């Protein structure tokens, strides 16, 4: 038996027969008709007797077939468990039809129902991995993550067991549980994470070349969807020719387009630069303002650009979420959103304010050097022990734990 404890609740792996468990409730991997079937479902109905089937029929007559991911409860009939929670796992169709979310819902909805009924001990089988064909390694990851997430935010359940029928299934779940147990929560250990990155990249600084707040603002606008190195090549001459907001505001748009063409999206960028500099001249006497509200009110300036200017040109603490910062922090589990503004909010809650600007540089550089978009180099990563994604990639999970996270396209 393998056990970990989450906020006082034990989560155990047991190799055995779920119908013989003495927990208050056992979970049945049912089909949507609730009429019994093969595998765990058939075994529970056989051991529990006709009372369970009768209650299932009444539930179906009242509310229809049970949708995938939902859960209902009956008594346990002749079983040792007082209750059976019936849930319908997804059939595996390659993983592109929302199977992970549906499987996660099976565990979350069963636990929610148990909590509502005051049930303190509950046993789960490995849902969907029999005839429904869900790959065991992927199912184990979803199951344990769902249970851990629930227990981290809910009280009232003392014991959760995953009762696994055969040795192979047990081994797959054990591997995931061991990884979960050794992983450190990056939100709790954020200072340690930043110290490690600081030791790794002591020299890191903003890569864009600039001398004045205006140059940094223009360079940041040009850096959208472009590498900083290419922007630096372009601005070398650009900043010699245009030295003030007035110069950019008076630029001939076609000429400017050609001058910034190598940075891509040059038509939009030229338009943004001219409009932005016109606003600087009209409303700010040609100076770049030093407040977030004023900066984001300029045409073509979003929070990311504004925070880069505030953090670097004005020495204010600010987190700028670009594609690298967004990718690294969501993979690690420091943030969960896909929206850069929301990621910024989440990071501001976790990272001490005096480290906001520095953490932007550290995470951004780590993303460029190690945590690449397509193939993160997890085995060389110094913060792997704090990363929700890397730990699982290294034990053979080819896909990142959440596709939405790893396909992040934050600019
Ligand atoms: S362990 Fe892998 S996914 Fe996590 S931060 Fe490091 S490189 Fe990125």
Residue 379 is encoded by which pair of tokens? Answer: 């085995």
Of 83-92, 168-177, 209-218, give the lowest mean pLDDT range: 168-177
Q: Is the CB of 327 under 6 A from ligand 1?
A: no
Q: Is the CB of 383 under 6 A from ligand 1?
A: yes
| pLDDT score of 17 more than 90 | yes
Angle at 127 between CA 20 and CA 184, to 5 degrees: 100
pLDDT of 313-364, one tens digit each?
999 999 999 999 999 999 998 998 889 999 999 999 999 999 999 999 999 9
pLDDT of 238-268, one tens digit each?
999 999 999 999 999 999 999 999 999 999 9
Q: What is the pLDDT of residue 44?
A: 96
Q: Which atom of ligand 1 is nearest to the CA of 390?
A: 1
Residue 35 is encoded by which pair of tokens? Answer: 């009429």
Taking the mean position of all CA atoms in its chain, how far away is CA 50?
A: 44
Q: Are 290 and 314 in contact (CB under 8 A)?
A: yes
320 DSSP assignment:
-
Q: Is the CB of 387 under 6 A from ligand 1?
A: yes
Query: What mean pLDDT do residues 74-93 have?
Result: 97
Q: Ligand 1 mean position to 376 CA, how many Å?
A: 6
Distances (CA, A) of 54 to 35, 79, 84, 237, 302: 9, 15, 13, 81, 60
Q: Ligand 1 mean position to 62 CA, how many Å?
A: 49
Q: Which atom of ligand 1 is nearest to the CA of 331?
A: 3
Q: What is the pLDDT of residue 394?
A: 55
| pLDDT score of 60 more than 70 | yes
Distances (CA, A) of 391 to 95, 174, 177, 198, 325: 21, 14, 11, 21, 19
Domains of the chain: 2-182 (3.40.220.10), 184-411 (1.10.340.30)
Q: What is the pLDDT of residue 226?
A: 93
For the chain, give the number of residues: 411
Q: Which atom of ligand 1 is nearest to the CA of 367?
A: 8
Active site residues: 304, 322
Q: Is the CB of 389 under 6 A from ligand 1?
A: yes
Q: What is the pLDDT of residue 407?
A: 37
Helices H / strands E in the chain, number of each: 18, 7
pLDDT of 94-127, one tens digit each?
988 999 999 999 999 999 999 999 999 999 999 9
Q: In what order do the strands lie in the sheet with 2-6?
A: 2-6, 9-15, 159-164, 121-124, 25-30, 83-88, 71-75
Q: What is the pLDDT of residue 78?
A: 96
| pLDDT score of 409 more than 50 | no
Q: Are 173 and 13 in contact (CB under 8 A)?
A: yes
Q: Ligand 1 mean position to 277 CA, how many Å?
A: 39
Sign of CA dihedral 138, 139, 140, 142: positive
The whole-model pTM stands at: 0.67
Which residues make beta-bridge pairs with 6?
Answer: 9
Atom 8 (ligand 1) nearest CA: 371
Distances (CA, A) of 351 to 190, 202, 322, 334: 7, 19, 17, 9
Q: Ligand 1 mean position to 217 CA, how many Å?
A: 30
Distances (CA, A) of 205 to 39, 302, 366: 58, 21, 12
pLDDT of 363-394, one tens digit each?
999 999 999 998 899 889 999 989 988 766 65
* Residue 387 assigned to a binding site: yes
Radius of gyration of the chain (CA): 27
Distances (CA, A) of 408 to 32, 270, 343, 374: 34, 27, 11, 11
Q: Is the CB of 331 under 6 A from ligand 1?
A: yes
| pLDDT score of 130 more than 70 | yes
pLDDT of 141-150, one tens digit each?
899 989 988 9
Other CB atoms within 10 Å distance of the CB of residue 119: 22
Helix (H, G, I), strand (E, B) or coil at 206: coil
Helix (H, G, I), strand (E, B) or coil at 235: helix
In what helix (H) or strand (E) does residue 113 lie, and over which residues does it extend?
A: helix 99-116
Q: What is the pLDDT of residue 238?
A: 98
Q: What is the pLDDT of residue 392?
A: 62
What's the rounded Cα separation, in Å, for the pair 144 and 104?
9
What's the rounded Cα separation, in Å, for the pair 382 and 81?
46
Q: Are 349 and 309 in contact (CB under 8 A)?
A: no
Q: Which of 384, 401, 407 to mutate to test the pocket of ligand 1 (most atoms within 8 A of CB)?
A: 384
Atom 4 (ligand 1) nearest CA: 390
Q: Ligand 1 mean position to 332 CA, how many Å?
A: 7
Q: Is the CB of 378 under 6 A from ligand 1?
A: yes
* Residue 371 assigned to a binding site: yes
361 Ramachandran zone, left/alpha/beta (phi>0; psi -120 to 50): alpha
Q: Is the CB of 196 under 6 A from ligand 1?
A: no
Query: What mean pLDDT do residues 148-175 have?
Result: 93
């Amino acid at each position: 038996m393998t056990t970990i404890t989450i906020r006082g609740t034990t989560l155990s792996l047991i190799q055995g027969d779920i119908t013989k468990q003495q927990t208050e409730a056992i979970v049945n991997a049912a089909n949507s008709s609730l009429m019994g079937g093969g595998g765990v479902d058939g075994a529970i109905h056989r051991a529990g007797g006709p009372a369970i089937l009768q209650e299932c029929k009444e539930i179906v007559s009242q509310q229809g077939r049970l949708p995938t991911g939902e859960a209902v409860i009956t008594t346990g009939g002749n079983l040792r468990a007082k209750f059976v929670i019936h849930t319908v796992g997804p059939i595996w169709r390659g993983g592109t039809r929302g199977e992970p979310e549906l499987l996660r819902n099976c565990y979350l909805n069963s636990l929610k129902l148990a909590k509502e009924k005051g049930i303190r001990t509950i046993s789960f089988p490995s849902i969907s991995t029999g005839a429904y064909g869900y790959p065991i390694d992927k199912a184990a990851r979803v199951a344990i993550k769902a249970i851990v997430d629930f227990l981290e935010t809910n009280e009232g359940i003392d014991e959760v067991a995953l009762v696994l029928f055969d040795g192979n299934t047990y081994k797959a779940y054990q591997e995931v549980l061991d990884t979960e147990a050794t992983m450190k929560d990056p939100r709790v250990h954020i200072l340690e994470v930043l110290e490690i990155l600081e030791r790794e990249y002591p020299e890191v600084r903003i890569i864009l070349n600039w001398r004045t707040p205006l140059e940094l603002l223009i360079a940041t606008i040009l850096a959208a969807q472009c590498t900083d190195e290419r922007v630096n090549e372009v601005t070398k001459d650009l900043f010699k020719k245009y030295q003030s907001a007035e110069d950019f505001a008076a630029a001939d748009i076609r000429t400017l387009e050609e001058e910034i063409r190598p940075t891509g999206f040059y038509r939009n960028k030229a338009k943004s630069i001219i409009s932005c500099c016109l606003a600087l001249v009209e409303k700010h006497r040609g100076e770049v303002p030093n407040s977030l509200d004023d900066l984001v009110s300029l045409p073509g300036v979003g929070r990311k650009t504004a925070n880069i200017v505030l953090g670097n040109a004005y020495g204010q603490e600010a987190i700028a979420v670009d594609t690298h910062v967004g990718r690294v922090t969501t993979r690690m589990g420091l943030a969960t959103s896909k929206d850069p503004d929301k990621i910024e909010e989440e990071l501001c809650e976790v990272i001490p304010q005096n480290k906001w600007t520095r953490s932007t540089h550290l995470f951004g550089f780590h993303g460029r050097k190690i945590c690449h978009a397509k193939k993160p180099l997890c085995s060389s990563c110094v913060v792997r022990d704090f990363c929700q994604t890397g730990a699982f990639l290294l034990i053979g999970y080819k896909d990142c734990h959440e596709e939405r996270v790893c396909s992040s396209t934050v600019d």
